[in-house]
Amino acid sequence: MQPTLNDVAREAGVSSITVSRYFNSPDSVREATRLKVEAAIEKVGYVRNLIAGSLASATSRVIPVIVPSLSNVVFIDVIKGLQDEFEAHGYQMLLGKTDYDLARETQLIRTFLGWSAAGLVVTGLRHDAATRQILEHWNQPIVEIMELGEGLDLNVGMDHVAAGRTMTEHLLARGYRDIHFAGAELDRDYRAAMRYTGHREALAAAGIEEAPLLDLPVRQQMTSGAQALERIRDQHLECDAIHFANDDMACGAILAASRLGIRIPDDIAIAGFNGLPIGEHVTPQLTTIISPREQIGRVAARKLLARIQGEPVGELSHDLGFTLRVGGST
Amino acid sequence: MQPTLNDVAREAGVSSITVSRYFNSPDSVREATRLKVEAAIEKVGYVRNLIAGSLASATSRVIPVIVPSLSNVVFIDVIKGLQDEFEAHGYQMLLGKTDYDLARETQLIRTFLGWSAAGLVVTGLRHDAATRQILEHWNQPIVEIMELGEGLDLNVGMDHVAAGRTMTEHLLARGYRDIHFAGAELDRDYRAAMRYTGHREALAAAGIEEAPLLDLPVRQQMTSGAQALERIRDQHLECDAIHFANDDMACGAILAASRLGIRIPDDIAIAGFNGLPIGEHVTPQLTTIISPREQIGRVAARKLLARIQGEPVGELSHDLGFTLRVGGST
DNA sequence: TCCACGAATGTTAGCGCTATCATGTTAGCG
DNA sequence: CGCTAACATGATAGCGCTAACATTCGTGGA
């Protein structure tokens, strides 16, 4: 079958452990030996058996990443950031998706830990009891990403309540008073619900007690943004601004507005969240909050790798902040 | 440390191989034994060590997926399709990214095969000699995705030359005669270059020998679409249609047109490729070719799993076709 | 020249599981 | 009631590698 370390060792006239050292601590083999080993590897066409190595050393260079969905750009960007860093450091990413199901998350984690993973990246701070129990007994580094708070180990993200608050404060400062919040499936997307909480806080601070909410049960985001705009225009003539849970919906609304002859921001102002490229290309440009998606991935990966390599990681919880980008839509 | 099969076996009063059988061929253990084993697993908090199992059996339920980029929605959709199918069948996806570098591809494949992977998904039919050599000697199933042709093993995709031809035939049928093709980084994105080939073929068939090409070196796709539109309008007043390499660029152009007061399709027609949701939300709606991205992932996964499980896979090469969607932009 | 010491290499055992073959156990039949 | 076949379980060895310790080698100073 496949050649093994022993085949290489025989070919090179050394012992198998020397070949192993060639791979794992190259500095500890002499130049002359290194060359013999390299020639032997080339000759027999050796490919390392990472499985055997991982079993013997009880560690692997695999890092599972668990996200709720792959349909949401947000997670894609985070994955990109993670992937870049992991790949650059010779770690491999094992990708799992929960579909927002905490039981599925437990199951995935259980399977992944069976790979003697070097660490774990998991989305969010909310887990069920079983997950929590497994992870508390697991003594490898863990990063929980996206939001901030008391976590299992490391934590990298941003403050969604503050983001919602910031946007609504901006809308209030612009003079809008009857502001609706529109999202889709907020029960699943609880980080969007956190932004709604911030939205409510800002309104309350301005003496406005009502915080009308439209929560659509639709997946396709741009379409649901268009729907939300129409719905609110029909049923709430007094509404002067819509604070959308994300840019997809907000851009869907802006594009629908131009079809429907609704003037933005004169008839109604539109705000989003995420800072996707499309927001800069619609007319008027979308006012949004730029979330540090890819950076969350990068920083999470770096902190995890630092922890794995026994280096200092700094603060356990890392707030990457956000930026308000004001466009013509508000 | 972690409890092992032996710990479970001792607790259940059976031998370790019986516990192994409980996991790997549950039908071969008696009901009463099964219950004892389940109780023991629960009691000691056993988590399977997949690494040890894979070493002993020389197979693993890991499937590496190699794509050139994670910045392109196309690959994200394909990954989604793959992930869904793999996860549903208990296989785990190991994600690698080449950045369009064939040498990097070789390196990734070498590493991944070290995981005793059950199969492999790789993007495209173009590989360097080293990759080809490794894969030809590897006797596990492989699927090459996205385009069609003579492959290493299985192959799932669509005909990009035909797609380019189809779109240009449509444009010609609509009466456009001075059609420019605009893409970005076509040297890397050689599938887009294949569509340009189809475009040229269609023009030639209509007796048009010139096929003006604008190949921008820009990454951000919507922006480069806007740039391309401006560039072509300024330098080629006679141009009456732009065939874009993808929907991002095409939509960037449509959105820019509305800012610049360019009427579409009266001043210039715009066509795209991919069938992204945004194309249906811009005004006018984008004429595009819907590529079966997620389906490529699904079918590729199913064929690979069938092959792994020794079931018939049908045709080695599977053409998933494409659909022309005519919008108001042409 | 010899010794001492650090660097380089080797020997041994075992990581936790499954393949293989061997053994025990049950049910069915004459 | 004994025999057999089918089923269920067990004993053993080994997957390919690395950790831990043991040994050898090379070099510089007395």
The answer to whether B60 and B115 are in contact (CB under 8 A) is yes
Rounded to whole angstroms, the Cα distance separating A86 from A263 reads 46
Q: Distance from CA of residue B188 to its chain's centroid?
A: 15
What interhelical angle do A129-137 and A102-113 show, nearest 10? Answer: 20
Separation of A20 CA and C3 C1' (Å): 33
Least Cα separation, residue A226 to chain B (angstroms): 9
Q: Is the pLDDT of residue B290 over 80?
A: yes
Rounded to whole angstroms, the Cα distance separating A24 from A312 reads 23
- DSSP code of A287? B
Strand C contacted by B237 CB (< 7 A): no
Residue A65 C-beta-side C-alpha neighbours within 13 Å: 30
Least Cα separation, residue B72 to chain A (angstroms): 10
- DSSP code of B158? E
Which of B119, B183, B111 has the alpha carbon at shortest distance from B145?
B119
Q: What is the pLDDT of residues B299-309, one digit of tens each?
A: 999 999 999 98
The answer to whether B120 and B140 are in contact (CB under 8 A) is yes
Rounded to whole angstroms, the Cα distance separating A247 from B23 reads 46
Nucleotide of closest approach to B53 (CA, C1'): C17
Could you tell me the CA-to-CA distances from A260 to A263, A267, A281, B264, B282 in Å, in that order?
9, 12, 19, 18, 12
Which residues, at least 6 apart from B239, have a Cβ–Cβ distance to it below 8 Å? B178, B179, B180, B212, B232, B233, B268
The answer to whether B49 and A114 are in contact (CB under 8 A) is yes
Q: What is the pLDDT of residues B9-50, one digit of tens each?
A: 999 899 999 999 999 988 888 888 899 999 999 998 899 999
Q: Is the pLDDT of residue B1 over 80?
A: no
Instruction: Tell me what pLDDT residue A193 has.
Output: 97
Question: What are the beta bridge partners of residue B185?
Answer: none
Strand A323-325, strand A288-290: pairing: antiparallel
Is B45 within 8 Å of A79 when comparing Cβ atoms?
Answer: no
Instruction: Tell me what pLDDT residue B2 has.
Output: 83
Instruction: Tell me what pLDDT residue A295 has.
Output: 97
Instruction: Tell me what pLDDT residue B301 has.
Output: 97
Strand C contacted by A28 CB (< 7 A): yes
Strand C contacted by B2 CB (< 7 A): yes
Instruction: Tell me what pLDDT residue A180 has.
Output: 97
Instruction: Assign 3-state DSSP to chain B and report helix, strand, coil percentages, each to 5.
Output: 50, 15, 35
Which of B92, B158, B95, B108 has the alpha carbon at shortest distance from B305?
B92
For A7, the token pair is: 């085949």
A2: number of Cβ within 10 Å: 15
**What value does the mean pLDDT of chain B take?**
94
Rounded to whole angstroms, the Cα distance separating A228 from A185 reads 13
The answer to whether B87 and B298 are in contact (CB under 8 A) is no
Q: What is the pLDDT of residues B116-156, one digit of tens each?
A: 999 999 999 999 999 998 898 888 999 999 999 999 999 99
Nucleotides of C under 7 A from a protein CB: 7-12, 14-20
Is residue B246 very low, low, confident or very high in pLDDT (cuts 50, 70, 90)?
very high
A:244-303 Cβ neighbours of strand D under 7 Å: none
Classified as helix, coil or strand, B114 is coil
- Give me the CATH topology for the region A160-290: Rossmann fold (3.40.50)
- φ, ψ for residue B52, nearest 5 deg: -65, -40
Q: What is the pLDDT of residues B60-90, one digit of tens each?
A: 999 999 999 999 999 999 999 999 999 999 9
Instruction: Tell me what pLDDT residue B32 has.
Output: 87
DSSP A43-99: HHT----HHHHHHHHT--SEEEEEES-SSSHHHHHHHHHHHHHHHHTT-EEEEEE-T
Instruction: Determine whether B89 is exposed, middle or buried from the number of CB atoms within 10 Å of its CB (0-12, 13-18, 19+).
Output: middle
Strand D contacted by A325 CB (< 7 A): no
B234: number of Cβ within 10 Å: 8
- φ, ψ for residue B170, nearest 5 deg: -60, -45
For A226, the token pair is: 């268009």
Nucleotide of closest approach to A24 (CA, C1'): D18
Instruction: Walk along chain A (330 residues) and give the pLDDT tens digit of each residue.
Output: 789 999 999 999 999 999 999 999 888 888 888 999 999 999 998 999 999 999 999 899 999 999 999 999 999 999 999 999 999 999 999 999 999 999 999 999 999 999 999 999 999 999 999 999 889 888 899 999 999 999 999 999 999 999 999 999 999 999 999 999 999 999 999 999 999 999 999 999 999 999 999 999 988 889 999 999 999 999 999 999 999 999 999 999 999 999 999 999 999 999 999 999 999 999 999 999 999 999 999 999 999 999 998 888 889 999 999 999 999 999
- In chain B, domain spans: 5-48, 61-158+294-322, 160-290
CATH architecture of structural domain A59-158+294-321:
3-Layer(aba) Sandwich (3.40)
> In chain A, count of helices (H) and strands (E)?
13, 12
* Same fold for the pair A59-158+294-321 and A160-290: yes
Instruction: Tell me what pLDDT residue B297 has.
Output: 97
Is B49 within 8 Å of A251 when comparing Cβ atoms?
Answer: no
* Secondary structure element (H or E) that encloses residue B327, with its range: none
* Secondary structure element (H or E) that encloses residue B269, with its range: strand B269-271
A21: number of Cβ within 10 Å: 18
Nucleotide of closest approach to B49 (CA, C1'): C16
Does domain B61-158+294-322 match CATH 3.40.50.2300? yes
- Please tell me the class of the A5-48 domain: mainly alpha
Which residues, at least 6 apart from A93, have a Cβ–Cβ distance to it below 8 Å? A62, A63, A64, A65, A79, A82, A83, A86, A87, B94, B95
Share of chain B above pLDDT 90, in %: 86
Strand B241-244: give its sheet, edge to edge. Answer: B213-216, B179-184, B241-244, B269-271
